[in-house]
Structure 1
Amino acid sequence: MTDPDVRLVDMTLRDGMHAVDHQFTPEQMADVASALDDAEMDVVEMSHGDGMGGSSINYGFAAADTGEYLDAVVPELTDTKLSVLLLPGIGTVEELDLAVDRGADMCRIATHVTEADVSAEHFEFVNERGLEANGLLMLSHMASPETVLEQAKLMEEYGAEAVYVMDSAGAMLPEDVRERVGLLADELSVDVGFHAHNNLGLGIANTLAGIEAGATTVDGCLRGLGAGSGNAQMEVLVGVLEKAGYDVEPDFFGVMDAAEDVLVPMLTEDTMPELDNDSLVLGYAGVYSSFLRHTRRVGERFDLDPREILVELGDIGVVGGQEDMITDVAARMADDEPAAAESESDD
């Protein structure tokens, strides 16, 4: 067996949690993990959609706690590594301790693209506990390539073994990906990763652009499940990479079977990823993909078009962790509408 050119991280049990309002049961997670292990997936990531500690009124309560999910998933993985996600300010060292004690192999630490400095102590702890530590720079479209590099170097200094450019809003074009990933690949001494969302329909194309620019580890989800219109679709990604001549570890048919036979029966019509008008606006406006379902609910509450709310959120530059702003912005827009209507009638 040769070493794969590209390492694949399947996030169905983490980013895919957004699509199901974090309601995968431990049993469902175990079934998906088992199928991915059978398909020889490199890494499976598991946690609340917003990382360990994310189960809350702000981000949505999960169907079970982190310990229950870990106890269900870990026994199903043999050669496949298990990753957990932590966002400083949401997750804590206590959750990291739990993940280590229950059998996680990796921890991916995610910050906003300009806030890598908040992750120093988390990298220190993960490294002390012997886990592989990766750094994720969320909403990388909101910073110049030079700023992304500056922040990536901080994570490298803190002990990251790989640093990811994350297109958390699905807002990047292939050239945006090449500029950021290529600069990191040239300047860092650690691996570079890329994480795509499909809000502009570019999830696979942008992932290929990232790999061509030097990314050696990339993310995807079965059936493209994920926040917004979803992530790069894992079974498509495996097939495309094989056709492009890359040496990848997961079995193409096995990943297809995991999606079709195991995941799909768990999903309902409203949880299947879809590139519809609202999610398209996410990418157009550059808004964090996990805001979509929250925005739809708030739009219904205030009788507003979710697209108008998303554009306004993009204009004010909201970032991950500011979900409370959705209601504030919608309430202000709803208050402004009668005044605008009155002004039009006066004309």
Structure 2
Amino acid sequence: DDLAMATTNGQNPANGTCRDLYRDEFSTFRPTIKVVDCTIRDGGLMNKWLFSDELVRDLYQANVAAGVDYMEIGYLTSESYFKRGDVGAWRFCADADLRRIMGNNDTKMKIAAMADIGRVDDCDIPQKSECLLDLIRVACYDYQIDEAIRLANLCVDRGYEVSINLMAVAKNSLEAIDACLDKVAAECKCQYFYIADSFGSIYGEQVRLLARRYLRKLGPGSAAKWPKVIGYHGHNNQQLGFANTVEGVIEGIEMIDGSYLGLGRGSGNTCLEQLLCFLHNPKYDPRPVFAVIEKHFAPMRLAADPEWGVSIPYLIQGARNEHPKDAMAWEAAGKSADAVGFYDQFMADKETATLAPAEPAEDGPKPAGPRVANHCSELYRREFFSYRPTIRVIDTTVRYGGFRGNWRFPDAFVQGIHRYCVESGIDYMEVGYLTGAAAAAAGVTSELFGPWRFCKEEDLVRVFGKARTPGLKLAAMCDVGLIEPSELPAAGETLLDMVRVAACCHQVDAAIALANAAAARGLEAVVVLTEVSAERLDTVEAALAALSAGPAPRVAVG
């Protein structure tokens, strides 16, 4: 059922101002979901936990004001493994340091710390009555699961809430994961168990499979001796941390992690502020988080001290499903900008044997269409297929990027994008907008905008030449109301191959007329329904019904 999650006790405002698709047709929030801020603990990997007391205190106070459920303030570590002179206080989370920041923590927010297998001794874990910590998160790899269970049970017996975070899960086969889950189900008293995408390598399809598997074996209603809440910790190597977390929440995950502005090594983590805005729970208020970002983290990122965010080396490591140590060394050597060099060294020339795909997993449906097996034997490469050859990729750099500079790109820039699209195997390059006579009345004139707001044929020929490029098609977008069907070019009169018609749901009839006119002139035609999140579901369905009833089979819906 498309609306399987649509039951809610919440009421929409009587004035109807929030009656849009996501608020009207779906649940606004699940009050059982808990949010964990891991800014200091995970972000400390970048600067050896050498945060100022002012920053940590501001972060603590903002989390309390924002309604964050847990603040993971660092690691619980033996001082025999690290020395205080080499790292900051939050590598140890001594009770005196905790109290210096938060007093007795007389708030609803709970305090957490992580314990790495092999870096903490039993004697380093005090009784809960002697410590401000509420939650200890035991981090382990699959081969450490026995020791993780032993340590987790010890922490439970000493009065703590406990989580086990199974790291680098995408490096394991489903058999190895099942073995861990079965052992935890039978032996471990911890209250929480986490999917940890340590390398930022998994996708929504894998999140769904893992969430369902973890919930079935360990979640409420499972046969586990001590049923557990399932959590998700994502990394942003492929910029999927937030999307994967949302996917997990939809599947029933109820404990989720984030950090301020995504602070974390390399590409960073899921952004905490995104989670608070997404959850729609009135207990969460992102404003205090924004204030601390403005004061501390935005200047930190602008100064690149430390540096985090979008990183091509980390992206490549995520795509490889590998630990980011190679990317870390590359960037430490001052070569962050040499993305091609990193690719050539670690990915482009690697030859790996192709394995036959496994039998389809039982945890949920797969997309339709032909699919092709990928390399290697890790979770998402062995249990899934890597791509569908029917998928087409459209580069929108010039068209969408033109909003930043009124489409006044130098010819050399546009030619460079075209060349890179060809070399990368991109299917379509969207070069800008098509406009008609009505555009001038709307203020869209050549005095105000560059050539790619109009995509005149002479500009296309000047930049791309008269011959079409094999393998790459050119596309342009047109807005309903700014061009008439009769003003569209014919296939033999233009270098364009595709017209994409942008329209809101109430403009669907005009969009169909434009798309049909483009198809009749020999062009590929696409209708792009825009602003769908501001529409009611029945309005979207009516637009889709109108599109499906049209006579032109070449019209698609984007």
TM bracket, shorter-chain basis? 0.7 to 0.9
Letter of the structure 2 residue corresponding to residue 239 of structure 1: C
Question: Are 1:223 and 2:261 an aligned pair?
Answer: yes
Alignment of 1:168-207 (within 5 A): 168-188=198-218, 189-207=227-245
Question: Are 1:41 and 2:68 an aligned pair?
Answer: yes
Letter of the structure 2 residue corresponding to residue 122 of structure 1: L
2:88 matched residue in structure 1: 63
In 1, the alpha carbon distance for the partners of 2:56 and 2:136 equals 18
Letter of the structure 1 residue corresponding to residue 253 of structure 2: A
2:103 matched residue in structure 1: 75
Give 3-state SS (helix, strand or coil) of 2:257's partner.
Answer: strand
CA contact (8 A) 1:170 1:198 kept: yes
CA contact (8 A) 1:52 1:84 kept: no
Give 3-state SS (helix, strand or coil) of 2:248's partner.
Answer: helix
Could you tell me which runs of 5 or more consecutive residues in structure 2 were left unpaired when the two chains were aligned.
1-9, 11-28, 219-226, 353-375, 378-558
Q: CA deviation at 1:291?
A: 6.6
Distance 1:34 1:308, change over 3 A: farther
Question: Are 1:142 and 2:168 an aligned pair?
Answer: no
Give 3-state SS (helix, strand or coil) of 1:135's partner.
Answer: strand
Q: CA deviation at 1:285?
A: 2.0
In 1, the alpha carbon distance for the partners of 2:328 and 2:81 equals 16
Question: Are 1:115 and 2:153 an aligned pair?
Answer: no
1:324 matched residue in structure 2: none
Equivalent pairs: percent with the same residue? 24
Question: Are 1:14 and 2:41 an aligned pair?
Answer: yes
CA contact (8 A) 1:140 1:165 kept: yes
Q: Give the counterpart of 1:90 among 100, 119, 127.
A: 119
Q: Give the counterpart of 2:322 among 276, 282, 287.
A: 287
In 2, the alpha carbon distance for the partners of 1:177 and 1:272 equals 28
In 2, the alpha carbon distance for the partners of 1:281 and 1:100 equals 46
1:103 matched residue in structure 2: 132
**1:33-53 deviation per Cα after TM superposition (whole angstroms, max 9, x unaligned):** 1221121210000114xx534
2:285 matched residue in structure 1: 251
**1:202-226 deviation per Cα after TM superposition (whole angstroms, max 9, x unaligned):** 0111101111122110110010011
So what's the TM-score if we normalise by structure 1? Answer: 0.77
Letter of the structure 1 residue corresponding to residue 252 of structure 2: G
2:310 matched residue in structure 1: 275
Distance 1:280 1:270, change over 3 A: farther
Letter of the structure 2 residue corresponding to residue 152 of structure 1: L
Letter of the structure 2 residue corresponding to residue 201 of structure 1: Q
Q: Report which structure shows greater RCO (CA 8 Å, sep ≥6).
A: 1
Question: Are 1:124 and 2:162 an aligned pair?
Answer: no
**1:238-268 deviation per Cα after TM superposition (whole angstroms, max 9, x unaligned):** 11222xxxx3742122332232234444554
In 1, the alpha carbon distance for the partners of 2:342 and 2:305 equals 16
* Number of residue pairs the alignment of both structures matches: 307
Give 3-state SS (helix, strand or coil) of 1:13's partner.
Answer: helix
CA contact (8 A) 1:296 1:306 kept: no
Q: CA deviation at 1:100?
A: 6.4
CA contact (8 A) 1:138 1:167 kept: yes
Larger-gyration structure (1/2): 2
Give 3-state SS (helix, strand or coil) of 2:239's partner.
Answer: coil
CA contact (8 A) 1:169 1:283 kept: yes
Letter of the structure 2 residue corresponding to residue 71 of structure 1: R
Could you tell me which runs of 5 or more consecutive residues in structure 1 were left unpaired when the two chains were aligned.
318-347
Q: CA deviation at 1:120?
A: 2.6
Distance 1:306 1:190, change over 3 A: same
In 1, the alpha carbon distance for the partners of 2:68 and 2:46 equals 21
**Higher helix fraction (1 or 2):** 1
Letter of the structure 1 residue corresponding to residue 37 of structure 2: D
Distance 1:295 1:46, change over 3 A: farther
Distance 1:128 1:283, change over 3 A: same
CA contact (8 A) 2:266 2:311 kept: no
- C-alpha RMSD over aligned residues: 3.4
